[in-house]
Chain A
Amino acid sequence: DQQVKQNSPSLSVQEGRISILNCDYTNSMFDYFLWYKKYPAEGPTFLISISSIKDKNEDGRFTVFLNKSAKHLSLHIVPSQPGDSAVYFCAQGVQGAQKLVFGQGTRLTINP
């Protein structure tokens, strides 16, 4: 069974500090992961991705880390900005099914 879990429903971080969002998965048959950002009443937008051939992928202020042995990935945002306040979803590619399985989401609030 393919499961992706984001155990923290919310996170509050001060502007300028680092935000760390976590995601755990159960099925490692296909290790390809994506992070999406979602504002209220809008569709999610793609943020960053990582595959199993890498441990880290960086794009500007956003870095995703993959720990395959722990079946854990994390998204780091540094420095955090007010515009980063949104819900963040991690998603895993499902081999053979051509679909993504999403976590429950983490609501990130950046405080000035």
Chain B
Amino acid sequence: DGGITQSPKYLFRKEGQNVTLSCEQNLNHDAMYWYRQDPGQGLRLIYYSQIVNDFQKGDIAEGYSVSREKKESFPLTVTSAQKNPTAFYLCASSLQGALTGELFFGEGSRLTVL
């Protein structure tokens, strides 16, 4: 089946620790995105990548880092610099760029900082 796989689904982290969320897609999409969802707020863009080895900051990139070494993979690292990391994280991809093409989302990863 084609789709986007995020792992882990649930993750607990102690304060001060870095954590990496995995996102893999087998849709052959060029563009990939990371969004964050908090209660009562919309999806906010963290980082996005239109092509391998290139990525851009979204609206809330501080405290996060990404890499795009392979077309199918776009991992997100939540660093200790992120002040409020507890949230639901969503990875997405699109074929022709989000302006006209729909985004396909993974099932999300819920990060809880203890």
> Using a CB–CB distance below 8 Å, which chain A residues touch chain B?
4, 6, 9, 30, 32, 34, 36, 41-46, 49, 51, 89, 91, 93-95, 97-105
- Indicate which residue in A32, A97, A101, A102 contacts B100 across the interface (CB closer than 8 Å): A32
Contact yes or no, A89 B48, CB < 8 A = no
> Using a CB–CB distance below 8 Å, which chain B residues touch chain A?
4, 6, 31, 33, 35, 40-45, 48, 50, 56, 58, 90, 92, 97-100, 102-108, 110
Q: Mostly helix, strand, loop or mixed at chain B's interface?
A: strand
CB proximity of A9 to chain B, nearest CB, Å: 7
A98 closest partner in B (C-beta):
B97
Contact yes or no, B90 A100, CB < 8 A = no
Contact yes or no, A43 B42, CB < 8 A = no
28 A-B contact pairs sorted by A residue (CB < 8 Å) = A9-B40, A30-B99, A32-B99, A34-B102, A34-B103, A36-B105, A41-B107, A41-B108, A43-B4, A43-B6, A43-B106, A43-B108, A44-B43, A44-B103, A49-B102, A51-B100, A89-B42, A91-B43, A93-B98, A93-B99, A93-B100, A97-B56, A98-B50, A98-B98, A98-B99, A100-B45, A102-B35, A102-B44
